A and B are shown apart, each in its own frame.
Chain A
Amino acid sequence: MSHNRMRMARGDLGALIAALSDRGYRILGPTVGDGAIIYDELESDTDLPVGWGEDQSPGAYRLVRRQDQAVFGFTLGPHTWKKFLYPAEERLFQVTLEGMSFQPEAPAGVKQAFFGVRACERQALSILDRVFLENEHVDSGYAARRRDTFIVAVNCTTSSPACFCASMGTGPEHRGDFDLCLTELLTPKRHDFLVEAGSAVGEAIMKEVPHCEADEADVAQAEKQIEATAKEMSRSMDGDNAAQLLSRNLEHPRWHEVADRCLSCANCTMVCPTCFCSTVEDTTDLTGDHAERWRRWDSCFNQDFSYAAGGHARSSTMSRYRQWLTHKLSGWHEQFGTSGCVGCGRCITWCPVGIDLTEEVAAIRAADGAVAATSKAEDCHA
């Protein structure tokens, strides 16, 4: 953490939201909905999941009441910030037959504030930026929505059994790249936030919110809590070594075992904060005079995802699961220079049958080099 740290009373969190709102930001953040903590529009601090936590295990999630009134006493739910930058469906262009005129979409910029971005999620946003902005082809919709996105980061002071950011080096503490960063300081005697500004806009906004300079005790408490959160994380994955491990074990019997359980339902890719795959669909009106191209989220778990003239490259669930894990943990390094996994654990909790990628990697590691007796020819080139 850098210099310039402030202390803000819990009671002034509403003033921070109001200050953002006054500047025209649409505030998006965690709130309780349908039995989970989801990301939606916030009007005030009372919309936040105050006093709520959650129980998570592979394939199961339950909201639980906490003993205290923590504002950020939960971790991650089924939603990710990507839905606000890269919506599930988006029109790309329209064509009118008469004169063959093409009208590409001109995506409108939005002023939005992501309120409560965790460290792993911030890393996921950097990964998406890399994919959509720092390439030869810039995604105009993503760019328009990303430009004016204000980030209120939160350092985690609690973790769930699904989290493994500490082992992936992506959390629980932020390392910059935010406008403001909050650490909740909660004891039976106090309820404050340690606030750090990471941008000029962040600093300017804090001028409108009551606060004072943080003292050493505040900083020490924040550091202690974050450290404890990292230590209590029971799940882990050796992400760096997973890349080589998976590349040399493409014929491992474990792929077949996990495929017996896997439903190829695609939930894991839908909840993953970095999965970015999409398909395009062309539609017409009944007369055929007007056509539109739409983009929709897709997944390597869907059969048609690998369809090319002549058939499906990955028809078996085995080859689809293998595609997912090797892309996330191995191929991503070659493509984008980082792992595609930030250790958020969402794919573990939201898999209806509780398949756990850390367990799959561990099982392959435990029998490194094993080769499945039956490996279907159709999958060899997948």
Chain B
Amino acid sequence: MNMTAAPAKKPKLAVWKFSSCDGCQLSLLDCEDELLAIAEAVDIAYFPEASRATQPGPYDISLVEGSITTPHDVERIHEIRKTSKLLITIGACATAGGIQALRNFADVEEYIRIIYATPEFIDTLATSTAVADHVTVDFELRGCPVSKGQLLELLNATLNGRKPNIPNHSVCVECKQAGHVCVMVAHGTPCLGPITQAGCGALCPHYDRGCYACFGPKESPNPASLTQTWQESLDVPERQVKLALRTFNAGAEAFRKESLKHGQ
């Protein structure tokens, strides 16, 4: 691909990485068939994961993966915001702090002392936080990792100047639309679907498992009521309730708050 020959009117796309596993960027590369069409529609100006050729900003669309965990990250995300017209965060790390937000519940100083031979070389923040905690974000795409279909829909909608079809209702809605039998009601399996945002197509209930909340809290979630039923009707031990809320979206406010009611 000859990046420099791209016509000027094509929007310039940049893909940035912070603290993350690269899984969400890989979802973009995983769009194989559609990737060619995307490469036609945009000028991929900065995407180190895919190409070494880079162009300087400003960028029309910046996709940001990963959470903010170091003082340097804080500076960098402000720079990216300044040079991006639209800033879109992708994945649980960028939208909620990711699995690494478990540090928010622990003593980071102590971790550093125990783990690293030369602790003074480590320059890190006490917390892992979402990008939106630092700069204005135009759209947050949830998921750990993001869904390929939703990522394409978001890019497509952005390029066509229309509203993306990305619902914020519960996983239960797509679970029922797919015709799955509810694992919580019919099998007694604890499921986080009723407080989790749709996006995966109710993948886990389809395989007879409870939802793990990869897409974070739905709009107006009620984790207190759901976990009360888990404990009272499904005999889920309190520690399990806490751990279920402390995964990829542990730092999302609704999950964080509820998990603290069930232990430190």
- Residues of A whose CB lies within 8 Å of any CB of B are 33-36, 38, 59-63, 77-79, 83, 88-89, 260-267, 270-271, 281-288, 296-297, 299, 301-304, 315-317, 349-350, 352-354
Contact = CB atoms under 8 A, between A and B. Distances in A.
Contacts of B228: 353
B243 interface: no
A315 B219 CA distance: 9
A271 B176 contact: yes
Given A62-B186, A283-B165, A263 B173 contact: no
The DSSP consensus for interface residues of chain B is helix
A265 B187 CA distance: 18
B181 A263 contact: no
A282 B156 CA distance: 12
Given A60-B233, A83-B179, A353 B225 contact: yes
A167 to B, nearest CB: 24
B168 A303 contact: yes
Given A78-B181, A89-B177, A286-B156, A265 B229 contact: no
Contacts of A35: 181, 186-187
Nearest to A88: B177
Contact of B225 (A261, A304, A316): A261
A88 B176 CA distance: 9
B219 A303 contact: yes
Interface stretch (B22-30, B80-88, B119-127, B189-197): B189-197
Interface in B231-254: 233
Interface in B212-233: 218-222, 224-226, 228-229, 233
Contacts of A63: 186
Given A264-B220, A265-B194, A303-B219, A354 B229 contact: yes
A352 B229 contact: yes
A352 B194 contact: yes
17 contacts: A34-B181, A59-B229, A60-B188, A88-B177, A88-B179, A261-B222, A264-B218, A265-B194, A265-B195, A283-B156, A284-B157, A286-B37, A303-B169, A303-B220, A350-B185, A352-B185, A352-B194
B167 interface: yes
Contacts of B226: 263, 352-353
Given A83-B179, A304-B169, A353-B225, A34 B194 contact: no
A297 B167 CA distance: 12
Of the candidates B153, B179, B185, the one having the most CB atoms from chain A within 10 angstroms of its own CB is B185
B21 interface: no
A352 B227 CA distance: 11
A303 B218 CA distance: 10
